[in-house]
Amino acid sequence: RRLAFVLSVVVGLALAGLPAAASAQQAPDGVTAVVRFTESNATIGDRATLVVRIEHPDSIVVTVPLPEIADAEVLNDGETITSTLPDGRQATETTFLYQLFNLGPIESGPVPVRWIQEDGTGGEFAAPGAQITVLSVRQPGDEALRPLKPPLAIEGAPPAWLLPGAILLGALVLVALAVLGVRRLRRGEPEAEERPVDTPEQSARERLAVVQHARLPEEAEFQRFYGTIAAVVREYLAARFGFNATALTSRELEAR
């Protein structure tokens, strides 16, 4: 009897908990949710937009976590916009962006929606999911080639002509430097100017030319004049023939 009493209590508690669990998975009164893709079909590699629209009283706040789709790449965390309907209720739309890479139908699956009321009570329910079909670019039996899709433009990227222009400018600078180098090599070093050799004869002639035009107003100047000539001649002989002519007398010099 005691065992039967315990079993009846457990079953009663389980049955009492069933309505509460079921109500936790249902939307509260006045809340409706619609899930849809903006396009019913797409081609492989295209972007697909999933919109979750929830209409609810203004006393309830709703949020939608990111739905994970197995065959799609998530591109954003969701953008939410809330507006007021004519009847005073609110409409909350959350938009998710995906990129599709698998062919065939792709389903979002049930989308969870979380809600909370002003009194603090809340819960979560699942909105029915949506489906989009990814089609091949080529139809069966179609062998015609199709052009590739253009790459996405990157904001702030340099113009397309900038890189070829920079390469061309660099090539022109290198050519100009090469031409200048060839010209300098052809010119070579400037030839040294030929200077006259300072010979004993040339030195003696220059000194005699100086005294040739000297004025001789007095007798003392005559002695200096002829003395200079004698010194020039002796220095020339010493430099020309390699003996000390300035140390010899006139007779000794004549004897040489």
Structure tokens at 246: 């300035």
* pLDDT of amino acid 89: 92
- What are the residues whose beta carbons fall under 8 Å from the beta carbon of 174, sequence distance 6 or more? none
CATH numeric code, 26-135:
2.60.40.4100
* pLDDT of amino acid 64: 94
* pLDDT of amino acid 137: 76
* pLDDT of amino acid 241: 74
Beta strands in the chain (DSSP E): 32-37, 41-43, 47-56, 60-63, 72-74, 79-84, 90-100, 104-107, 111-117, 122-127, 131-135
49 forms bridges with which residues in the sheet? 97
* Predicted structure pTM score: 0.47
Contact in structure between 228 and 211 (CB atoms under 8 Å) = yes
* pLDDT of amino acid 188: 64
C-alpha of 230 from chain center:
89
For the chain, the structural domain boundaries read 26-135, 200-255
* pLDDT of amino acid 248: 62
> Three-state SS for 237?
helix
Q: Digits of tens for pLDDT over the chain (256 positions)?
A: 444 444 444 434 443 443 333 334 688 888 999 999 999 999 888 999 999 999 999 999 999 999 988 878 999 989 999 999 999 999 999 999 999 988 899 999 999 999 999 888 899 999 999 999 998 877 667 777 767 777 766 666 666 667 788 888 889 999 999 888 888 887 765 555 665 566 777 887 877 777 776 665 566 666 677 777 778 787 877 777 777 766 666 666 666 5
* pLDDT of amino acid 182: 85
- The count of other CB atoms within 10 Å of the CB of residue 32 is 12
